[in-house]
Amino acid sequence: MEDTDFIVNYVKSKLITINLEILIAKDGEDGVRKGQIERPNLIIADLMLPKMDGFEVCQQINSNPKTKDTRIIIMSTRNSKENVLRCYKLGIDDYLIKPFGLDDFEQRITRLLYS
């Protein structure tokens, strides 16, 4: 879930090269809905999303028995200590500060999914 097409395409390009299946949500509500239906291994979300922000997405995903084991990476330009800590308290697995490099992104995904 990301609100900027450039970032969506940037992230998508890397996920394709490491052979991951990708679902894209148009906003936070759509992401939570797709997460509950598709039950992916990993959700990557921005904090600033239409209809439901990333904090609420984390809360919804982690409070639902069907999705509570789903890994979550938040990516955001909001790098304040308060935002990062709030996300970790909501159960995220990693927090990426934009801009970020694709190699770092791949390493973090690989660590979460395969270790």
In sequence order, the 6+-apart residues with CB closer than 8 A to the CB of 103 are none
Residues 57-83 pLDDT 10s: 999 999 999 999 999 999 999 989 999
Element containing residue 86 per DSSP (H, E): helix 81-89
pTM of this prediction?
Answer: 0.91
In order, the DSSP letters of 66-84 are TTTT-EEEEEES---HHHH
Q: What is the pLDDT of residue 10?
A: 83
| Whole-number pLDDT of residue 107 | 94
| CATH 3.20.20.80 given to domain 1-79 | no
Domain ranges of the chain: 1-79
Residues 1 and 32: beta-carbon distance below 8 Å: no
- Is the preceding omega at residue 99 within 30 degrees of 0, hence cis? yes
